[in-house]
A and B are shown apart, each in its own frame.
Chain A
Amino acid sequence: MNLGCSWARLEAFASCEWASKATAWVCVRVMLWAALFLWLIGNLPFPKSCEEYPEPLVTDLRGSNVVQMLTGPTLANPTGFRSDLTPKAKDRLRVAWIGGSELQGFVSSPVGRSRPGESVYLPLQAARLLEEKTGQDVEVLLYLLYRMRTFDYYLCVLDAIGNGCDAVVISCNSVWLLNEKALSSAGGLYHTILHSGYSDMRGLLQITLFDGWRNVALSVLEKYFFAMQGQRSIQDAYSEFQLFLQRPGGKPHIEAANPLKEIVTNPPIGFWARFDGVNGSRLDSSNGQDWVQFYTRYVDPDAVLAKEYVQRCISICQEQRIPLLVYLAPLSPTALQDPFFSCAITITERFASELAEPSSDTSVIVLPTIPTRELDDLEFRDFVHAKDFGSMPDYLLPSLRTLAARAKTAK
């Protein structure tokens, strides 16, 4: 076997010089065919995975009464919200449950990279318990987004109301609730609902490869299209920060006019550098290292904007006469002992207590303390993420029953 000749041919092929004889018309034809091919592939009925994201969540929830409402980016539906929800069945209690990764118990795999069957979901457990105890048919619309911030809470509440929810449950994570500065970094901005509606390269490949390529081209064009149109200035188009406030299409979703300006002037970069943002192992916490722990250092009792959006969630629910439950997500007992976490928890509990102050409106329930102070059977993977929710569903049950009863009354 003459390997030398074969290798020479292979290397010649790999160099692509065989294409050098192409004419301009050949190039044009190739590009046209490629564009046609990509368009055809992009329109194939792939998936379901386009509308259901992330995959383990979908598989784990299949057949249950929990519907994941936050989808991955697609061109057909760039909003980030599921648009194909079936109308609510009569006599069924539809509950919107809004929160972050604390709703997902990671049994045996790292956060965010679980495979089907490796996660448990608090809303699912709680809904089943409620059904069991009350005989009520319960459907949960799950608005789960990692590192969710209060601005996203508000959008989710609006979407939940639009989908005819009878009640809303909001899980507040002490790490993120009053932590605008950590969340307003460019990396954190990718975790907004609105930004997920943009063609962001991260996670695109998880949907379909072909959608990804379509979005690559269009995301670039979209940026320049809007800039050229003048609907957004170059400053807006290229400030990730401004994108945070705009829906695709350039129409502002809310009336906010640059309310996060103070965060721009006090940039997150200082925060990350000051708090060892590059390498979590430099942390001097008693637990060694945990990147979530140093995020917590920036929980801000004066997080005006975060508080404003929580208040907006409450106001809109009151206005729409929809019962609302706000509770603080459980954290591990070690978090309660960690100096930075305990400080963040104190700040958050103080804020939750202000929300819980007695008012004439009984449709809003606020549980202002970290459940871990009362429950000792939860198992945690780290400071924030549970492996087993233990009696957490039972802890929430009385409030959920109250919600269900008030939802019935409100109808």
Chain B
Amino acid sequence: MTDSGANPIGYFGELISLSIVVLPVYYGLPWRLARNILLAAFGAWLMFTVAPRLLLFYLAYWLFLYVAQRAVLWSQKGKASGTVFFTMLTLAISPMLLWKAFPYDSVVMFNLETHRLVGLLPGIFSAIDAVKYIILPLGLSFACFRGGDLLIQTHLGAFGPIRLHALLCYGLYPPILLVGPVAEYRELALDAPLEPFSAGDIAVGLANISMGLVKLFVFAYPLGMVGKLQGVETQTTFNAWISLVAFAWHLYLNFAGYSDLAIGCARLYGHRLQANFSFPFFKTGPAEFWQSWHMSLTRFVWRNIYIPAGGMRSKTQYLALLLATLTIAFWHALSVPMLLFGLYHAAGLMVQRRLASRRGRKAAAGGLFQGLKMVGTFLYVALSLPMLVLPLEQLPKIYFVLFGGRP
């Protein structure tokens, strides 16, 4: 019975509609500082309309990140640099960890405490916040990963001190607030010289937005009516597979659609975010799939988990794969089904890598074989989706039906 507090399409609708006013002002401002403040204020406004308490939380979070980034930089020359870095990093991702570990209690406390803090502000904010339902901490996972990534990159020397306006702009950047992608700080280039107005950016942005809308409303929405995993265990095997396939496509097109909206909206403001999906269901193996599904998250995990864990070394590559897939799994939820999800995909990746290392490089296979690999990869991924969305007790029943059992 939670109200998420924001319908993503409503959020993007407001973002795009308000951009009619914000865009000309943005490009009319000849200073980086002013543009960053404008975008931060825009994002803050959108958060405020979800719930004032959510805005208060994120302002506090990104102010903390500002301090944390400075602390990491300051400590780099000293002996305690590692300690400071890990402390700051832990604090940066702890809201997400708490939420995943204690989903119920943390959400209740989050709402109660932030609402109480809003009450310290002038009465109007409290009045508006009062009628807002209990909300999930929208965008928290994305924010924590972005914040964590920023600190890691700072620790590695990629960034100097980031100015407050740039950091707030990054933290409250409107297109990526709600549903990602997990954009890196450097993608937005908020310290760089001003991006000039380009009609091409507007056109590409609108094209991306249009493409996202088509994915959402022409494909994902109807598929969502067919593709439901709840109750599949009561269906016949054939119908269960239909539901599973429809759900898989719905999940992809829904997520990709929102990613396109985010990327398109960012492009309107001259920022080029990297693609988040690249036809994942047409890939020919688990590794290729993960390189094309939620690519922003995969990139994050690649550079911050897989590489540091020894992914490029033959002795530790499999451990690194396991850690990477488990990170991706637990980013969604800390639960046994997600553990199974992570192990399942880790196994697939390990098997593929093992086979590839044994077979060595071969000439590209024919079209039919590629097609079979695509279908196989799709089915392999689709079979993991019940673990992504269903509780543990339902999983045996659904797999029983999928593999020929009678409901």
Interface status of B327 (Cβ within 8 A of chain A) = no
The B interface, classified by DSSP as helix, strand, loop or mixed, is helix
Are the C-beta atoms of A241 and B17 separated by less than 8 Å? no
**Binary contact track A205-248/B, C-beta < 8 Å → 1, others 0:** 10001000000110011000000000000010011110000000
Are the C-beta atoms of B134 and A27 separated by less than 8 Å? no
Max chain A CB contacts within 10 Å: which of B198, B200, B221?
B200
Q: Which residues of B contact A217 (CB under 8 A)?
A: 13, 17
Q: How far is the CA of A207 from the CA of B250 in the complex (A)?
A: 21
Q: Which residues of A contact B364 (CB under 8 A)?
A: 4
Interface status of B67 (Cβ within 8 A of chain A) = no
Interface status of A14 (Cβ within 8 A of chain B) = yes
Interface status of B107 (Cβ within 8 A of chain A) = yes
Shortest C-beta distance, B176 to chain A (Å), equals: 18
Interface status of B9 (Cβ within 8 A of chain A) = yes
| Nearest A residue to B2, CB-CB | A278
Checking A14, A185, A205, A291 against B211 with a beta-carbon cut-off of 8 angstroms, the contacting residue is A14
Are the C-beta atoms of A30 and B217 separated by less than 8 Å? no
Q: How far is the CA of A21 from the CA of B204 in the complex (A)?
A: 9
Are the C-beta atoms of A26 and B17 separated by less than 8 Å? no
Interface pick from B274-282, B306-314, B345-353: B274-282
Q: Which residues of A contact B63 (CB under 8 A)?
A: none
Q: How far is the CA of A11 from the CA of B207 in the complex (A)?
A: 14
Checking A7, A30, A291 against B203 with a beta-carbon cut-off of 8 angstroms, the contacting residue is A30
Interface pick from A94-102, A162-170, A269-277, A317-325: A269-277
Of residues 113 through 153 on chain B, the ones whose CB sits less than 8 Å from some CB of chain A are: 115, 124, 126-134
Shortest C-beta distance, B2 to chain A (Å), equals: 5
Checking A18, A22, A221, A272 against B133 with a beta-carbon cut-off of 8 angstroms, the contacting residue is A272
Checking B13, B130, B367 against A241 with a beta-carbon cut-off of 8 angstroms, the contacting residue is B130
Of residues 1 through 44 on chain A, the ones whose CB sits less than 8 Å from some CB of chain B are: 1, 3-4, 7, 10-11, 14-24, 26-27, 30-31
Q: Which residues of B contact A264 (CB under 8 A)?
A: 127, 130-131
Interface status of A253 (Cβ within 8 A of chain B) = no
Q: Which residues of A contact B282 (CB under 8 A)?
A: 7
Are the C-beta atoms of B207 and A186 separated by less than 8 Å? no
Q: How far is the CA of A24 from the CA of B129 in the complex (A)?
A: 41
**Binary contact track A252-294/B, C-beta < 8 Å → 1, others 0:** 0000000000001101111011000111101000000001000
Are the C-beta atoms of A187 and B133 separated by less than 8 Å? yes
Given A20-B203, A27-B203, A273-B111, A291:B130 Cβ within 8 A = no
Interface status of B18 (Cβ within 8 A of chain A) = yes
Q: Which residues of B contact A279 (CB under 8 A)?
A: 1-2, 104
Are the C-beta atoms of A14 and B200 separated by less than 8 Å? no
Interface status of B229 (Cβ within 8 A of chain A) = no
| Nearest A residue to B282, CB-CB | A7
Shortest C-beta distance, B42 to chain A (Å), equals: 13
Q: Which residues of A contact B393 (CB under 8 A)?
A: none
Are the C-beta atoms of B17 and A1 separated by less than 8 Å? no
Interface status of A133 (Cβ within 8 A of chain B) = no
Interface status of A201 (Cβ within 8 A of chain B) = yes
Max chain B CB contacts within 10 Å: which of A22, A202, A270?
A22
Q: Which residues of A contact B104 (CB under 8 A)?
A: 278-279, 282
Interface residue count for B (Cβ, 8 Å)?
Answer: 48
Interface status of B112 (Cβ within 8 A of chain A) = yes
| Nearest A residue to B203, CB-CB | A22
Of residues 174 through 213 on chain A, the ones whose CB sits less than 8 Å from some CB of chain B are: 184-187, 189, 201-202, 205, 209
Interface residues on A, range: 35 or more
Q: Which residues of A contact B233 (CB under 8 A)?
A: none
Interface status of B59 (Cβ within 8 A of chain A) = no
| Nearest B residue to A30, CB-CB | B206
Checking A21, A202, A221 against B200 with a beta-carbon cut-off of 8 angstroms, the contacting residue is A21
Max chain B CB contacts within 10 Å: which of A7, A205, A235, A277?
A277
Q: Which residues of A contact B207 (CB under 8 A)?
A: 16, 18-19
Shortest C-beta distance, A41 to chain B (Å), equals: 13
Are the C-beta atoms of B203 and A272 separated by less than 8 Å? no
Are the C-beta atoms of B108 and A7 separated by less than 8 Å? no
| Nearest A residue to B292, CB-CB | A11
Q: How far is the CA of A7 from the CA of B131 in the complex (A)?
A: 50
Are the C-beta atoms of B370 and A220 separated by less than 8 Å? no
Checking A1, A15, A189, A278 against B1 with a beta-carbon cut-off of 8 angstroms, the contacting residue is A278
Are the C-beta atoms of A241 and B131 separated by less than 8 Å? yes
Checking A4, A15, A18, A187 against B3 with a beta-carbon cut-off of 8 angstroms, the contacting residue is A187
Q: How far is the CA of A31 from the CA of B201 in the complex (A)?
A: 14
Q: How far is the CA of A265 from the CA of B370 in the complex (A)?
A: 64
Interface status of B235 (Cβ within 8 A of chain A) = no
Are the C-beta atoms of B18 and A220 separated by less than 8 Å? yes
Are the C-beta atoms of B127 and A239 separated by less than 8 Å? yes
Are the C-beta atoms of B200 and A22 separated by less than 8 Å? yes
Interface status of B7 (Cβ within 8 A of chain A) = yes
Q: Which residues of B contact A277 (CB under 8 A)?
A: 1-2, 133-134
Of residues 268 through 301 on chain B, the ones whose CB sits less than 8 Å from some CB of chain A are: 275, 278-279, 282
Interface status of B199 (Cβ within 8 A of chain A) = yes
Are the C-beta atoms of B131 and A189 separated by less than 8 Å? yes
| Nearest B residue to A281, CB-CB | B104
Q: Which residues of B contact A14 (CB under 8 A)?
A: 211, 275, 278-279
Given A3-B370, A220-B18, A277-B134, A20:B200 Cβ within 8 A = yes
Q: Which residues of A contact B198 (CB under 8 A)?
A: 20
Q: Which residues of B contact A221 (CB under 8 A)?
A: 17
Q: How far is the CA of A16 from the CA of B204 in the complex (A)?
A: 6
Given A14-B278, A273-B134, A277-B134, A239:B128 Cβ within 8 A = yes
| Given A15-B275, A272-B111; 8 other pairs, CB 8 A cutoff | A31-B206, A184-B131, A185-B133, A217-B13, A238-B49, A267-B126, A268-B131, A273-B108
Task: Report 20 cross-chain contacts, Cβ distance below 8 Å, ordered by A residue.
Answer: A3-B367, A10-B279, A14-B278, A19-B203, A20-B201, A20-B203, A22-B199, A22-B203, A217-B17, A220-B13, A239-B124, A239-B127, A239-B131, A240-B128, A241-B127, A269-B129, A272-B133, A273-B134, A278-B104, A280-B1
Q: Pick the 10 closest A-B CB pairs, nearest first.
A: A22-B203, A267-B130, A20-B200, A16-B207, A201-B10, A216-B13, A24-B199, A19-B203, A220-B17, A19-B207
Binding site for B on A (CB under 8 A): 1, 3-4, 7, 10-11, 14-24, 26-27, 30-31, 184-187, 189, 201-202, 205, 209, 216-217, 220-221, 235, 238-241, 264-265, 267-270, 272-273, 277-280, 282, 291
